Amino acid sequence: MAQVLEFKLPDLGEGLTEAEIVRWLVSVGDVVAVDQPVVEVETAKAMVEVPCPYGGVVTARYGEEGTELPVGAPLLTVAVGASDPADVSDTAPAPATAATPRAAAPAPAAAPAPGPTPARASASASASASASDETSGNVLVGYGTGAPAARRRRVRRAPLSASPAAPALVREPVNGAAGPVPVVSPLVRRLAREHGVDLRGLTGTGRDGLILRCDVEQAIHRGATQTPSAVSAPAPATAPAPVMAPTASPSPAPAPAAASPSARPGVTRVPLRGVRGAVADKLTRSRREIPDATCWVDADATELLAARRAMNAAGGAKISLLAVFARICTAALARHPELNSTVDLAAREIVRLPEVHLGFAAQTDRGLVVPVVRDAQARSAESLSAEFARLTEAGRSGTLTPGELTGGTFTLNNYGVFGVDGSTPIINHPEAAMLGIGRIVPKPWVHEGELAVRQVVQLSLTFDHRVCDGGTAGGFLRYVADCVEQPAVLLRTL
């Protein structure tokens, strides 16, 4: 007889606590193989195809496309031991083909009888033990059929109940009161704090009362819609009714003026989540914490372009212009290691890093991403070109892994591809500096004492003023400009 096992959204690593369902790859009634991808989700880091560790027939899916689920929430159920949908007609949950959008718990969680959840948990446990031949035993970032669920990093876990299916929570005292508040993630906690929502006054719609982002957003919306109506609301019982009537009647119009901006026609609300939300959080933190400054210089890139053409004409793999700038950048960081560092606020220390993990800004259909080239200081121009091309293609296809988007120590930003000359970018926290490259365009330039048309580029360096002063930043940028104008300068440092 087929036994139904529940597959939950696994821990996807890098401290991620939630993911959005982008596309279901299977439907209810489909037969899935062990480790077959069943859903495509988007996290704050990347798009991920999630494989199911069970083989059998899909009996239920939880969550429509666009639904955001916390780690540990049910994704789907699989009848293990069945090879045909007809074999699981008696074991499949009746109407649970999809959960309500943004709800992290399936329909049985709202049933009045408390029995089904422990029963299903025990059945899943026994089925997992008896159907080991139908599962892979593989582990994907802390989950698998042969290992218990892993703990999420950077988040303190505390079970809401004795149920093994209870998701993780963060305990936080609110308004000075003691006791745990079941919140699904720090992002939800911060959202509540920024909008003045008391978490203790909310009833979570997640499993075992877990407070989800949608609960906080609904509370914010209720507060926005109730504010204007409070002006014209009847007075409380303690105030005499005849006094309030003549006072409120002359001014019936304030309510429309105070209406929420989203109520106006044509207003569109775009959720800050996924990659866009991660970018917003990181840039906000950078602007809040880092006292940045920017210096810039124009450089004659005519000789650099000629040197690159000569290298590519010699045969072999083609070398990109970005790779040439990256090679110059790593040489400059070797001379000015202060800029390849980070600031430890807790210890009040500047931490200088020995390796250069070079991030580069890449615009994709999903927004701005910053893939990271590991150990860029040890790579040749050809190796850098190949890695830039690989990571750029992965960014456009949405297949970058979280590890390829984190750990950078310095960022190279080629905003010249947008047709602009200069910029004052925001530093990619927790790094200490970013080199910007503008477009290379022909301009009048004094060359060897005469006016000539040369290929000119504007270079800018945005740096954390805590790690160095203007002298160091200026020295770094001047060295980069010297290498651009006279590539032989770079050869002397190799």
Distance set, CA 307 to CA 35, 167, 448, 490, 493 (Å): 50, 58, 19, 12, 17
Amino acid at 172: E
Nearest alpha-carbon partner for 494 in 373, 300, 330: 330
Amino acid at 430: P
Asked if 357 is an active-site residue, the reply is: no
**Alpha helices, DSSP H only, in 348-424?**
381-397
C-alpha to C-alpha distance for 335 and 277, rounded to whole angstroms: 36
The contacts of residue 2 (CB under 8 Å, 6+ apart) are: 56, 57, 79, 80, 81, 82, 87, 88, 91
245-265 per-residue burial string, b: 16 or more CB within 10 A, e: under 16 = eeeeeeeeeeeeeeeeeeeee
Nearest alpha-carbon partner for 364 in 395, 400, 391: 395
Amino acid at 98: A
- Order across the sheet with 36-42: list the strands: 47-52, 36-42, 18-24, 68-70
Nearest alpha-carbon partner for 70 in 186, 176, 162: 186
The contacts of residue 375 (CB under 8 Å, 6+ apart) are: 355, 356, 357
CA within 13 Å, CB half, 135: 27
Is the CB of residue 334 less than 8 Å from the CB of residue 327?
Answer: no
C-alpha to C-alpha distance for 409 and 354, rounded to whole angstroms: 10
Question: What is the radius of gyration, based on Cα positions, of the chain?
Answer: 29
Nearest alpha-carbon partner for 413 in 427, 399, 402: 427
Q: Which residues pair with 115 in a beta bridge?
A: none
Nearest alpha-carbon partner for 260 in 233, 232, 228: 228
Select which of 195, 221, 447, 465 is catalytic: 465
Nearest alpha-carbon partner for 21 in 42, 36, 47, 46: 42
- Integer distance in angstroms from the first to the last C-alpha of the chain? 69
Residues marked active site are found at 465
